[in-house]
Amino acid sequence: MKYRRMYLDSYSYYLTLVTQGRKPLLIDNIDVLRHAFKLSKEKYVYDIEAIVILPNHIHMIIRPKISTEYSKIVRHIKRSFVYGLSQELKDQAKAEISHAKYNRGHAGIWQERFYEHTIRDEKDWLEKMEYIKYNPIKHNYVENLADWRYTSFK
């Protein structure tokens, strides 16, 4: 059975993007990631309602102006990030994936898919916000939320 994503106008979407093999690439390349988001914001209209970036994954809630574009937004962020990485990192990632995956356009930097959850109501939104907010603590990166720099929660 093929998975079908929901595209509902005026909804927010909770998204999780994970690096291939959970490699800790994101914080070490935070400027590249920020630039990838900047490029996506130039092409697509969406609000980031909450975000946390950890070394190997991102959790965020976005509200796209056009609901059917959230998959395109994710794809654009992922591709822009890959393009901005050093050739050495790209070569290392390429060496760790199969030829079949590489031939399908997989760079070996991100997991092929991403997790999506359509936010259905305020309770759902608040639960996802709390999850995002405390994720660096959950993963033992910090004890105090204020110590994690890579979040929309200050």
Distance CA 131, CA 46 (A): 21
For 12-38, give one letter per residue: b (16+ CB within 10 A) or e: bbbbbbbbbeebebbeebeebbeebbe
What is the value of pTM for the model shown? 0.92
Domains of the chain, by residue range, sit at 13-125
DSSP 8-state code for residue 9: T
- Angle, in degrees to the nearest 10, between helices 70-84 and 30-43: 140
| Whether CATH 3.30.70.1290 fits 13-125 | yes
Confidence of residue 94 (pLDDT cuts 50, 70, 90): confident
Is a pLDDT exceeding 90 seen at residue 102?
A: no
pLDDT at 17: 98
* Residues 33/144/123/64 CA torsion (nearest 10 deg): -10
Average pLDDT over residues 108-134: 95
Please, which residues bridge with residue 110 across strands? 19
pLDDT value at 99 more than 80? no
* Sequence letter at residue 34: R
Give the residue numbers marked as catalytic.
Answer: 150
Residue 113 or 102, more confident: 113
Both tokens of residue 104?
């399908």
CA distance 33 to 6: 26
Mean pLDDT for 81-107 is: 85
